Amino acid sequence: MIKLTINEGIGVEVRDEFLYAFCIDKTTVFEVEYYTLGGNKAPYFSTGACKFNRPKTGWQSCGQAQERLLPRGSAARRFYDKWDRLHLKDLTDEEYAELVDDIAELKRVYPYYVAYEFEGKATRSSISFYDIYKKSMEMPRTRTRR
């Protein structure tokens, strides 16, 4: 779990920056990110969703496609519906702490890949396609009724 920390001697709160990719099913990925972009002084929060193409050699759809790709009623969709209002906004300390708790719930529900978790400012990196592909293969197969 990510924790708020106090920078000793300065008394300044430092928030962890992170990027997670949650495998919602064998073909759908939900990304949750909190990081500082470029020279910005404050990090921001964002989410995105991606869907593999049929042979899983690339993305069929990717980006701000959460409403279309996340199943209604799923933990990921509830998370998105709750937090979308703060997309690309500064978070208060209370909002950040609640966000961290909600991410812990996503971690309990879905297999996930951590691109980074870093105390303080992170050097932003992306998640490799191959790493997400491997993680998506951990999803259990669902049976279809005939």
Per-residue pLDDT of the chain (146 residues; tens, 9 = 90+): 344 443 333 333 557 888 899 999 988 999 999 988 777 777 889 999 999 888 888 788 888 999 999 999 999 999 999 999 999 888 999 999 999 999 999 999 999 888 776 555 544 556 666 677 777 777 665 544 44
For residue range 114-140, list pLDDT tens digits in order.
877 655 554 455 666 667 777 777 766
Q: pTM, whole model, 2 decimals?
A: 0.76
> How far is 26 from 109, CA to CA, in rounded Å?
14
In the numeric block, the tokens 């996930």 are attached to 112
Question: In which region does residue 56 sit, left (phi positive, over 0), alpha (psi from -120 to 50) or beta (all else)?
Answer: left
> How far is 80 from 46, CA to CA, in rounded Å?
10
In the numeric block, the tokens 């980006």 are attached to 63
Inter-residue contact 69 to 51 (CB < 8 Å):
yes
Question: In which region does residue 29 sit, left (phi positive, over 0), alpha (psi from -120 to 50) or beta (all else)?
Answer: beta
> How far is 75 from 24, CA to CA, in rounded Å?
9
Amino acid at 113: Y
> How far is 17 from 35, CA to CA, in rounded Å?
5
